[in-house]
Amino acid sequence: RFRAVRETFEANFADGGEAGAAVSIVVDGETVVDLYAGVRDAAGQTPLGPDDLFNVWSTTKGLAALCVAIAADRGLIDYAAPVARYWPAFAAHGKDRLTVGQLLSHQSGVCGVDQPLEDFFDHDRTVARLAASAPLFPPGSASAYNANVMGHYASELLRRTDGRSV
């Protein structure tokens, strides 16, 4: 049933696209795919093992976007509205006309905080710094990936409109 997963996984190594990877799929509590191969170090000397861990970057962005979409469907958030309608402090430094849709499509010009944070996981402190930050480019004019702050943006919009965080 999952032969195509194995074949695609193996092909990724055969064509040189992967140095080390793992995939595990669980259906109804049963592990149906459990594959790992390659190496775990840059020198290519240490084989990957079944217990090696991997970062799963950006996997929660889709879920955060879904939460915002539900809020939009409920009439709590309008993608065409300025972020400042919901989060007034975000209007600082010319971000007053940036729409929710632009913010969530990485067009704010604020890809991260402009100064080091002692505790990036302090949500209130981080969103206050994001709101106060000057954009790197005119908001809405370009895009730059918000790798580490997209969750903060979605969560703060939800907190201010729905009362709950992501």
108 Cβ partners below 8 Å, 6+ apart? Answer: 83, 95, 98, 102, 135, 139, 146, 153
What span, in angstroms and rounded, lies between the C-alpha atoms of 161 and 68? 10
Query: What residues act catalytically?
Result: 58
First-to-last C-alpha distance (Å) of the chain:
35
Amino acid sitting at position 106: H
Q: What one-character DSSP code corresponds to residue 91?
A: G
